[in-house]
Amino acid sequence: MAGITKQQEWQMLHNACMECTACPLHQTRTNVVFGVGERKSPIMIIGEGPGEQEDLQGEPFVGPAGQLLDDMLKLIGLDRSMLYIANIVKCRPPRNRDPLTEEQDACSHWLAEQIRIMDPDIILCLGRVAAMRMIKPDFKITKEHGKWFLRDNRRIMAIYHPSALLRDERKRPETFADLREFRRVLRISYPEMYGGGCWVE
């Protein structure tokens, strides 16, 4: 948009999103969960949709899955201030069910605009729902987690959702391997900025 800074554009998007009534999820929400973090970062993390705590606090990944996400980020030398976190849908689906296709369709333009303005180089999808939306509709998380895809010139990887890792700890070793691969690429792409963490190569 001519004459408008990215900061202003982002703020306008945020304000408009707060008023959204495009799908029935607005009727049961406490807060719209727009996203959180550093929008100038080259890294965006995309989850599925707000849960109970996120709905109450208006911020993504602040419940138990969020605590695990913070631990996972720490392993690869990252924290929330170094990236941006958003979701496929901005309002909580009742009882934490998967967002319906119609709800995702109604909401997807908010995320598309966030991605356009932020222009991240690297996207990490958390779970099947985000991967199916961002990578390909027939994405198989059990087979394709940890693999890199190129979409609109951005590198995208999906890993198991932290909630899945809380339910089934047997998935954790595979996710550790995926996170190491994620960090490997960060280290190559942004050697000064990213790629620390507790693992020593």
The sheet with strand 148-151 has its strands ordered as 36-37, 84-87, 43-47, 122-126, 154-159, 148-151
Residues 34, 36, 43, 54: which binds ligand URA (CB under 6 A)?
A: 54
How far, CA to CA in Å, does 79 sit from each of 76, 104, 114?
9, 27, 20
Q: Does 61 bind ligand URA (CB under 6 A)?
A: yes
Residues 37, 42, 51, 195: which binds ligand URA (CB under 6 A)?
A: 51
> Which of 25, 22, 27, 49 is closest to 106 using CA atoms?
22
- In angstroms, give the least distance from the CB of 123 to ligand URA: 14
The smaller minimum CB distance to ligand URA, of residues 175 and 195, is found at 175
Binding track, positions 10-49, relative to ligand URA; x by CB under 6 A? -------------------------------------xxx
The rounded distance, in Å, linking the Cα atoms of 124 and 24 is: 28
- In angstroms, give the least distance from the CB of 164 to ligand URA: 10
> Which of 129, 145, 42, 132 is closest to 84 using CA atoms?
42
Q: Does 103 bind ligand URA (CB under 6 A)?
A: no
The smaller minimum CB distance to ligand URA, of residues 48 and 103, is found at 48
Binding site for ligand URA (CB under 6 A): 47-51, 54, 60-61, 65, 87, 126
